[in-house]
Amino acid sequence: MQKPAGKTTKRAAGKADDATPREDRLAWLAKSQKHAAAYLDAALETGEPGDLMHALRDIAEARGGVAQLAQDTGLNVNTLYRTLSKQGNPQLSNLVAILKATGLRLAVLPG
């Protein structure tokens, strides 16, 4: 993989790395359910539905992609791509299926 011209990401050890911030985020999300839960929680805190859908899309990508999520949920892959876009507006049943397939769940807590 070639590095983009003029862009180098450096790790704490000072070594150059080819990973983009998105690739780093997906790798971080893939490492732990706790990471995915924290990321989803932060997206919910913004109050923007699009942020939630974007976070779920990143989590899906980190865990094998949207096509894999479609297999795991039984939902149509094209429907999932639309649902997991910033403009996505899923039915509750689809949201529950997506969360279950990613090993996550929503909880309601007192404010």
**What are phi and psi for residue 51, nearest 5 degrees?**
-65, -40
25 pLDDT more than 90? yes
pLDDT band at 107 (very low <50, low <70, confident <90, very high): confident
pLDDT band at 99 (very low <50, low <70, confident <90, very high): very high
What does pLDDT average to over the chain? 84
**pTM for this structure?**
0.78
109 pLDDT more than 90? no
Q: Are 1 and 37 in contact (CB under 8 A)?
A: no
pLDDT band at 108 (very low <50, low <70, confident <90, very high): confident
What's the rounded Cα separation, in Å, for the pair 21 and 63?
A: 17
DSSP state of 103: T
H/E stretch holding 58: helix 49-62
* Residue-range domain boundaries for the chain: 21-101
Q: Are 103 and 33 in contact (CB under 8 A)?
A: yes
2 pLDDT more than 60? no
Looking at residues 42-67, what average pLDDT do you find?
94
Q: Are 37 and 104 in contact (CB under 8 A)?
A: yes
- pLDDT by residue (tens digit) across 60-91? 999 999 999 999 999 999 999 999 998 888 89
